Amino acid sequence: MIKAADMMIARRADTKARADFATWKMMAKLNGASALPAEAQAFLASYQALLKEMPEADATDATIQLMYKAYFAEMGGKGTAPDVRAQISEPVTDNVTAFRRPAPQKTKPKTAADTKPKLPVALIFACLVVIYVGFHYYWR
């Protein structure tokens, strides 16, 4: 049985592994691999070796699994790293969770007491004109 703490560590490790791999792979494409830490360069070297043996998608998954297991151990996970993908009930595609609309909120029907009487704009304008004209004649 997997403990809740280990499952939280596993999810964090999986997320970190996927994000780091995507970052490192992009830096390697931009010729910035030499600036990466030694650990990142080692994972990228293993990825390059796996690319020679299998398709890119499989090599990516295998490298991410290696990184995930290493991160799980670093973060304090006990025992072998659980399979996070099997534990997640929602489908995850490239570390993006599907959007779900929130449930519509129920609104109570408005009553006559809830609505405020609104003055029409024309009435307000007419009052301002009367006040202006009144002041104009008063000050003469």
Tell me the two tokens of residue 78. Answer: 């006990």
Give pLDDT tens digits for 25-82: 888 888 887 888 888 889 889 998 998 999 988 998 999 888 888 888 888 877 777 6
pLDDT at 117: 65
d(CA 83, CA 59): 17
Checking if the pLDDT of 138 tops 60, the result is yes
Give pLDDT tens digits for 76-114: 877 777 676 655 545 555 566 667 777 888 877 777 666
d(CA 67, CA 13): 8
